[in-house]
């Protein structure tokens, strides 16, 4: 049985959760924390403790440099959301993200944190759906030594994978998420 790791946020996370559950062959774990509201089924939620949220601090500091963000400026719920992202990618075999890829190669928003950490951690298969096209990360575990390349929709998810992305998505993004699961049936 495959396992989908996500964050339970409205938008892409919820679509990945629903698609994985709909297929019936996937276990879903949505990482969360006390005080985080989510609409995904309660049975899929894994609440992280304060100590668990701190586990990815070193990786987050490095990711912040690549993203040109100041990690020390984040506090409260925004910080916990990003700390939760570490858990989404720390033991994954593949990442499927829905977010914009900027011209400089960085992925936008909170999803950018997870994708950058996945690169740093050496996740072998990283895909991002941006501007209506799937892209794959080609490079090392150094975000400055690689690039995004267009590809035919990625192979269907297997094993332990991460399904994440933007909160605000349209019909095109929803279709891209569900098509990953339809390929595998």
Confidence label for 23 from pLDDT (cuts 50, 70 and 90): confident
CA dist., res. 170 & res. 70, Å (int): 30
Q: pLDDT tens across 134-143, in order?
A: 999 999 888 9
CA torsion 177→80→137→184, rounded to 10°?
-30
From CA 27, how far away is CA 154, in angstroms rounded?
Answer: 20
- Tens digits of residue pLDDT in 151-163: 887 876 679 999 9
Q: How far apart are CA 175 and CA 121, in angstroms?
A: 29
Give the predicted TM-score (pTM) of the model. 0.95
pLDDT at site 172 = 97
How high is the pLDDT of residue 184? 59
H helix or E strand, kind and range, residue 116: helix 109-120
CB atoms within 10 A of CB 117: 26
């Amino acid at each position: 049985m495959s396992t989908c790791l996500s964050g339970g946020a409205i938008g892409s996370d919820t679509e990945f959760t629903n698609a994985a559950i709909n297929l019936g062959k996937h276990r879903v774990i949505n990482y969360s924390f006390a005080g985080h509201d989510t609409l995904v089924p309660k049975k899929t939620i894994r609440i992280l403790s304060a100590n668990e949220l701190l586990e990815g601090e070193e990786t987050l500091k490095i990711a912040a440099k690549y993203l040109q963000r100041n990690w020390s400026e984040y506090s409260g719920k925004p910080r916990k959301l990003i700390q939760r992202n570490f858990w989404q990618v720390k033991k994954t075999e593949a990442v499927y993200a829905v977010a914009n890829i900027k011209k400089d190669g960085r992925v936008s928003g909170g999803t950018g944190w997870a994708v950058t950490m996945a690169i740093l951690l050496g996740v072998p298969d990283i895909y991002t759906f941006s501007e209506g096209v799937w892209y794959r990360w080609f490079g090392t575990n150094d975000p400055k030594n690689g690039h995004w390349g267009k590809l035919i929709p990625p192979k269907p998810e297997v094993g332990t994978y991460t399904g994440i992305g933007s909160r605000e998505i349209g019909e095109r993004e929803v279709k891209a998420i569900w098509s990953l699961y339809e390929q595998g049936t």
